[in-house]
Structure 1
Amino acid sequence: MRLFIAEKPSLALAIATGLGSKNRKDGYYDCGDDIVTYCFGHIMQQCNPDEYDEKYKAWKMETLPIIPVKWKLKVSPDCKKQYNIIKQLVSKADVIVNAGDPDREGQLLVDEVLNEFGVFTLGNSNYKPVQRVLLNALDDKSVKIALSNLKDNREYVGLRNSALARARADWLIGMNFTRAYTLKARSAGYDLKLSIGRVQTPTAALIARRELEIKNFKPVEFYNLLVTWQTGKNSFGSTWQITDDCPGTDSEGHIIDRAIINQISKKIQGVTGTVIKVEQKPGKSPQRLPYSLSSLQIDAGKLYGFSPQQVLDIQQSLYEKKLTTYPRSDCEYLPENQLSDISSILNNIKSISDELYTLVQGADIKIRSRAWNDKKITAHHAIIPTTVKPDFAKLSSDEKKMYTLIARAYLAQFYPAKTFLTTTILTEANGEVFKTTGTVIQELGWKKLYTQAADDDTDEEISLPSIKEGEYVEFGGSEIKAGITKPPARFTPSTIIKAMKEIWKYVKDENLKSSLKECSGIGTEATRASIIETIQERGYVKVEKKNLVPTEVGFLLLKIVDENMTYPDITAKWEQDLDAISKRELPIKDFMAKQEGYIQNLLKNLDSIQIEQAKAAYVCPNCQKPLRRIKGSKGFFWSCSGYPECKTSFQDKNGKPNMEPKPKPPANGPKCPKCGKPLVQRKGKKAKFWGCTGYPDCKEMFWDKNGKPDMEDC
């Protein structure tokens, strides 16, 4: 028997259909000699610290760092039934096929289940050969091709180890630093939990730093000189070129001294200019690449205002309807074996609208764009339409928009490159140089598909007169143009996705920028949207008018957490390491050793971090540190943030610390008949009573009777 283990039920159904049967059983599909079962994503979970050792139940600095000697996993409570079904099927199987999604997480979540059953352990009764199927689309044709091309699962051990290293590194960072920085913040009176993550923390910090740049920004007025030159009946504009040693400039090279620009303007009034250089360069803009998830999230965010998570959800729906390929792809290239699908896919696109019908008619299927490149393909390829014809009437409005966006990018591969001619003219007048640039589009090419859409790569066509070097031109007028420097824009969900992908632009160490350009960024295609959701849920950022704005807790993160955690430098380097692990160039044990050393060093430096005391509503009367309201096993109480050095605490009274002094027993007052300690009168919810001052060791109590304990009614 051959057993397929899919990542999720929808994938299992597609495989069962591809195998020619959909005989549904409890937790699996019976396909004759083949059985198809499924997980629900990660059905194995990392254990909590207290499941390694009881001492970790309480959050204490002295128990850090928490570094497991032997890592443990547990079955997710909601998945125990399915786990047992898979276990029984594994014991009966002759061959097992890992059918996780075609990425590192998909590889791991099936492999970790098989590892629990001993499938990879020689000598174990469950030791079995394991194969791998990579499904980039769920349409019948794609599934059948994938099923006929099974690989040895051992080829993907690097991919699995990469995901395993990522999971363990995230656990170490989260468990250790969430506790460490939360305890540090509470010691300064901040009543909160600071959730720390390998990716979420630098992402939240990126947004907070951008906000600080905006708040601290001081606008500056700058100037430039525009001059028109006359040649015969024709004229052309030019811009004065600021020299490197020009006085009155700022750090960005803007002229901020109006007197300088006035001086240049007077200098060239009525002067004849000389053309000192004419340069013409042909240019080409190759076809845009099809979409990866990140590039789709960026474009859909700009065009339709979709959040990254919305894009992923819509794509998942289209994928499960078999209309588009794997939605979490980080690749923008296509395999050459899919060239045979071009006509079928273009016919489907043609049916969407009259506009696309016309555009498909103008396509040339013989064109081979740079997207067709087997060397660029890893576990998956770009997101494109499948060969399944969409029934547009049955799609939601958002699904229609997304499918059309993907279809247009695919169609662009069968239009020629955009070609243009760029002309640069340099004119000299009275020792000053002026520059003119013009562009003439020779063929619009694939840009015909995007003439109605907002596109960053649209060049305005500027024609220039025919002119030669050495030719004289007459002064035709000038204008001093003023501008104001603008602050950086706030991040939106779409632009923060782009920033996470192009993280080399935001690292602190300038020397890292060149080496990190090839890095895939921080996070993955599958996790970036959820990271943005997470930092909102945890109170670090909020959305205001579609912009991501940090909260006070987000700013606090910058003040408290070590820079090594808030800047993306180390996280980006770790992503490089994870990529090296997936290529089997770096052993997982070496990567984990780095993580452990990093954690230990940061914890050692924690004492040196000085945090400004929080402005507290209530302070400890003994040490003046803020009091915190804590929920204990018997309800809320107030504790000094200086604990354990100061153990002052108070009962909670209507959300406030009850600082009223405890009643003292009267001199020569009644004594406890059991232990001999004084009794004290107290006020209960229903009536007054007398309690032993030896509480909690002695719990004797008596009702009050005319101001005295009623010893007869205990």
Structure 2
Amino acid sequence: MKKVIIAEKPSVAKNIADAFDIKTKRDGYYEGEDYLITWAFGHLLQLYDAKDYDESMKSWRLEKFPFIPEEFKYKVKSDGKNKAIEDVGARKQLNIIKDLIDREDVESVISATDFDREGQVIGDEIFLYFNEKKPIYRILLNEWTPEEVKKGISQLRPNEEMKSLQDAGIGRQWADWMIGINLTSVATVKYNSGSKKILNIGRVLLPTLKIIYDRDKEIEQFEASTYYKLLANFKTSQDEVFEGTYYEKDEEGKDNEKFDNKATLESMVELIKNKPAQIVEKQVEKKKEYAPFLFNLSNLQGYITSKYKGWTSDKVLKVAQSLYEKKYITYPRTGSLALEESLKGRTKKVLDTLKIGLPYEGQICFADHKRIFDNSKVESHSAIVPTYIIPKSLTPDEQVVYNAVKNRFLMQFLPIAEFEETKLITKIIDVPEESLKGVFISKGKVQLVEGWRIVEKFEAKGTKEGKENKDTLLPQVTQDELVEMKNANVAEVTRKPPKAHTEKTLLRVMETCGKSFKGDEKEEGKEESEEDTLKMMASILSGFSIGTPATRAETIKKLKDAEYIRAKGKSLVCTDLGKALVETFPAKQLLDLEYTGRLEKTLSDIEKGKFQKDEFLSMIKAFTEEAVEAIKNDTRVLSGTKVEVPKNMEPVGVCPVCGNAVVENEKAFGCVNWKSGCKYTIWKNDKYITMLGKNVTRQMVELLLKNGKVGFRNLKGRNGNTYAAYLKYVKNDQTGYFNWEQEFI
């Protein structure tokens, strides 16, 4: 009797066939003596659309929502170009899978989809759709090399044991359907009347947008300020020059080099000119620097996008997925930075294969320690590492990602880098202490053991991305040695605003659900401190995050496609529409990182069997119903959404409330976005303007919209006198309506 193996993709099916030396390929599957190996194309099925349950849902009307089906159903996925018809290829492949399973010589089925929440659902959707009765087993692998495939087949598990993983995957699907379908439909109808643009609302989409919005606001509200530093150059008896920065103790007794008063430092420059100085203290400390941890997906995406131009996190994932399917690296959609302890033997085999012929081969030595192998730091999948199969030919993009993974792996098994950190404290002699309370401090470091950094050196050779080590080297001096004060100057430093988020920093905030670590502010390309990384790992392992490693890149892409954010070089910033959505959207919970983190944590707990899927879905249903009502009852206007101007009308100007056009009709000048609740209207028979002895004209409204105010002479006062004033049309925040205000000229 035979077994049907269902892989997630054709490339993986071929890997399994190769492992068993199966050469016979049929239409949609491989056939061997013991196995029939077929495949899906990712999801072959999708959830019903609202209109599939109810024909009247084809048109979006507010009164029809919230819409939540009593039972969620699946259908063959829609065609990529025409959503109204089913995908022909998906239908054909489903029929092939069904025919293979139903063969009389088939006794059971093996699901060989990816070992994660999404992979589990891809297989289980098919079995539920077929109402499959034959025994189903699960193969759980981290890589598709022949050795691991054979090992996995010998350790199959009944698919029923994956029920918690299935519940988490299906729970995520249904929850995102409820929130996405309902809130996207209602928000689009409510806020986007007159426009064909759909407002995409999602469980992960909006909190991610809020992260970028918050950073944009920090930058916008940042108040620039300046401080001053006193710098001096000293010369030794050997004519070696080094720089020192002046420090004084502040009120708390801490060393401070930042001064607000420039004149004070300038007077010090005159005071210390041509004065002798002395090294009053020399501190030398040896330090160790460990290799950065192995990559998880977010770290790999951050590393590549910050190091190479033109890369996005979505592109990194696609290239890594390609390498995985070609058997060159392990499963990429992981949040772990360590390897399972059971992988020590396999890891040594990979290391012995990869190190052959490297210039630093002699320094590589297998090591068994907790920085590399630690079950407590692994969630579902181990960190991303190479397999023992050496690539024969890679595309340039694949080479970039493969080299990053390989080099990070090799670093773990090279010596720890060591350096000597030196601190010199220099004091000016012959100056009264009350006039010069502080000292000059110089810091520098010297590398003693190159260790794992040798990988970086060879990686940098011949590439534009390679940077030379710019550590400050200090001269060889002894304590109490006299030096000459050569010159001094006052440097002006402007405090810089926070940097806009890049894909690297955004992924980190998503991964840790907004928990801030010092590493977030580090310069692009720099690694986090050991302490920060360990905190981050604990946060990731808790499951409290925004999205998963598999979905974060897609979320960033969706935000760009929805025109909520845009790329500005490597930075990500909100568009006007994105800002308006954050500021106006009434279902504030969906913008709350804590709330979204709890939802993701709940899904993680379902996966571990600690929480029930039905309870989670009840929570989501209640939230969806409340959010739909909040949007329906919202009286504000979403600026940034564009309404088309009627063909027979010429815009008078731009609405100051929502950015749409203001047009003239028989009775008034008003915003074209009135259907969505924009109340900006100036009536032609306005009583206040008439009382002042004037008329509302097109020219007046044009000037008002252009300048924010319009000037008049010969306005009639209550006492009969005439005067000149500017008129402004100002919104009353309590009523939502506009009133006139005067500013005398």
Are 1:442 and 2:448 matched, yes or no?
A: yes
Q: Deviations over 1:135-158 (max 9, x none)?
A: 222222222222222233344332
Report what 1:201 is aligned to.
206
367-376 or 78-87, larger mean C-alpha shift = 367-376
Are 1:552 and 2:597 matched, yes or no?
A: no
Q: Of 135, 147, 153, which residue of structure 2 is paired with 1:147?
A: 153
Q: Of 156, 162, 165, which residue of structure 2 is paired with 1:156?
A: 162
Are the aligned partners of 1:13 and 1:22 in contact in 2 as well (CA < 8 Å)? Answer: no
Are the aligned partners of 1:626 and 1:640 in contact in 2 as well (CA < 8 Å)? Answer: no
100-109 or 8-17, larger mean C-alpha shift = 8-17
104-113 or 473-482, larger mean C-alpha shift = 473-482
Are 1:243 and 2:250 matched, yes or no?
A: yes
Are the aligned partners of 1:620 and 1:640 in contact in 2 as well (CA < 8 Å)? Answer: no
568-577 or 6-15, larger mean C-alpha shift = 568-577
Alpha-carbon separation, structure 2, partners of 1:488 and 1:589: 43
Q: Of 92, 110, 128, which residue of structure 2 is paired with 1:81?
A: 92
User: Residue type of the partner of 1:291?
Assistant: F
User: Residue type of the partner of 1:332?
Assistant: L
Report what 2:691 is aligned to.
none
Report what 2:371 is aligned to.
370
Report what 1:295 is aligned to.
299
Q: Name structure 2 gaps, 5 residues minimum.
A: 78-85, 428-432, 518-534, 638-656, 679-745
Report what 2:660 is aligned to.
615
Q: Deviations over 1:40-75 (max 9, x none)?
A: 111221111222334433323333323333222222
User: Residue type of the partner of 1:389?
Assistant: I
Q: Of 337, 340, 354, which residue of structure 2 is paired with 1:332?
A: 337
Note the C-alpha offset of 1:198.
1.6
Are the aligned partners of 2:285 and 2:421 in contact in 1 as well (CA < 8 Å)? Answer: yes
Are the aligned partners of 2:660 and 2:672 in contact in 1 as well (CA < 8 Å)? Answer: no
Note the C-alpha offset of 1:380.
2.4
Identity, in percent, stands at 29
Report what 2:405 is aligned to.
406
TM-score between the two structures when normalised by the length of structure 2: 0.71
Note the C-alpha offset of 1:101.
0.6
**What SS class does the counterpart of residue 514 from structure 2 fall into?**
helix
Are the aligned partners of 2:246 and 2:438 in contact in 1 as well (CA < 8 Å)? Answer: no
Q: 1:438 to 1:609 in 2, by over 3 A?
A: farther
Alpha-carbon separation, structure 2, partners of 1:261 and 1:616: 56
Alpha-carbon separation, structure 1, partners of 2:380 and 2:496: 43
Report what 1:384 is aligned to.
385
User: Residue type of the partner of 2:410?
Assistant: L
Alignment of 1:21-420 (within 5 A): 21-76=22-77, 77-78=86-87, 79-92=90-103, 93-119=106-132, 126=133, 128-186=134-192, 192-226=197-231, 237-241=244-248, 243=250, 255-259=259-263, 261=265, 281-305=285-309, 306-342=311-347, 345-346=350-351, 348-349=353-354, 357-366=358-367, 368=369, 370-391=371-392, 394-420=393-419
User: Residue type of the partner of 2:590?
Assistant: M
Q: 1:529 to 1:366 in 2, by over 3 A?
A: closer
Q: Of 477, 486, 501, which residue of structure 1 is paired with 2:511?
A: 501
Note the C-alpha offset of 1:415.
0.2
Report what 2:550 is aligned to.
526
Alpha-carbon separation, structure 1, partners of 2:244 and 2:348: 48
Note the C-alpha offset of 1:457.
13
Alpha-carbon separation, structure 1, partners of 2:635 and 2:449: 61
Note the C-alpha offset of 1:238.
4.0
Are the aligned partners of 1:190 and 1:614 in contact in 2 as well (CA < 8 Å)? Answer: no
Alpha-carbon separation, structure 2, partners of 1:328 and 1:604: 37
Give aligned pairs, total.
Answer: 607
Report what 1:486 is aligned to.
496
Are the aligned partners of 2:236 and 2:483 in contact in 1 as well (CA < 8 Å)? Answer: yes
453-462 or 47-56, larger mean C-alpha shift = 453-462
Alpha-carbon separation, structure 2, partners of 1:540 and 1:5: 39
**What SS class does the counterpart of residue 482 from structure 1 fall into?**
strand
Note the C-alpha offset of 1:520.
6.0
Q: 1:2 to 1:460 in 2, by over 3 A?
A: same
**What SS class does the counterpart of residue 414 from structure 1 fall into?**
coil
Alpha-carbon separation, structure 1, partners of 2:161 and 2:231: 62
Q: 1:407 to 1:182 in 2, by over 3 A?
A: same
Are the aligned partners of 2:279 and 2:478 in contact in 1 as well (CA < 8 Å)? Answer: no
Note the C-alpha offset of 1:505.
4.2
Q: 1:135 to 1:622 in 2, by over 3 A?
A: farther
Report what 2:585 is aligned to.
561
User: Residue type of the partner of 2:616?
Assistant: F
Note the C-alpha offset of 1:105.
0.5
Q: 1:434 to 1:23 in 2, by over 3 A?
A: same
Alpha-carbon separation, structure 2, partners of 1:575 and 1:239: 50
Are the aligned partners of 2:204 and 2:547 in contact in 1 as well (CA < 8 Å)? Answer: yes
Q: 1:385 to 1:157 in 2, by over 3 A?
A: same
Are the aligned partners of 1:205 and 1:566 in contact in 2 as well (CA < 8 Å)? Answer: yes
Are the aligned partners of 2:231 and 2:243 in contact in 1 as well (CA < 8 Å)? Answer: no
Q: Name structure 1 gaps, 5 residues minimum.
A: 120-125, 508-512, 629-638, 644-714
Are the aligned partners of 2:224 and 2:497 in contact in 1 as well (CA < 8 Å)? Answer: yes
Q: Deviations over 1:187-219 (max 9, x none)?
A: 5x7663211112222323433444444445443
Q: Deviations over 1:152-188 (max 9, x none)?
A: 334433222222222222212211221232233135x
Are 1:598 and 2:623 matched, yes or no?
A: yes
Alpha-carbon separation, structure 1, partners of 2:380 and 2:93: 27
Q: Deviations over 1:533-575 (max 9, x none)?
A: 2222222233344443433322332232244333433222322
377-386 or 542-551, larger mean C-alpha shift = 542-551
493-502 or 256-265, larger mean C-alpha shift = 256-265
Alpha-carbon separation, structure 1, partners of 2:614 and 2:286: 52
Report what 2:560 is aligned to.
536
TM-score between the two structures when normalised by the length of structure 1: 0.74
Alignment of 1:632-671 (within 5 A): 641=676
Are the aligned partners of 1:294 and 1:497 in contact in 2 as well (CA < 8 Å)? Answer: yes
Q: 1:372 to 1:608 in 2, by over 3 A?
A: same
Alpha-carbon separation, structure 1, partners of 2:477 and 2:544: 46
Q: 1:237 to 1:506 in 2, by over 3 A?
A: closer
**What SS class does the counterpart of residue 43 from structure 2 fall into?**
coil
**What SS class does the counterpart of residue 230 from structure 2 fall into?**
strand
Q: Of 579, 582, 588, which residue of structure 1 is paired with 2:604?
A: 579
User: Residue type of the partner of 1:531?
Assistant: T
User: Residue type of the partner of 1:373?
Assistant: D
Are the aligned partners of 1:162 and 1:579 in contact in 2 as well (CA < 8 Å)? Answer: yes
Alpha-carbon separation, structure 1, partners of 2:304 and 2:323: 15
User: Residue type of the partner of 2:40?
Assistant: C
Note the C-alpha offset of 1:106.
0.5
Are the aligned partners of 1:225 and 1:479 in contact in 2 as well (CA < 8 Å)? Answer: yes
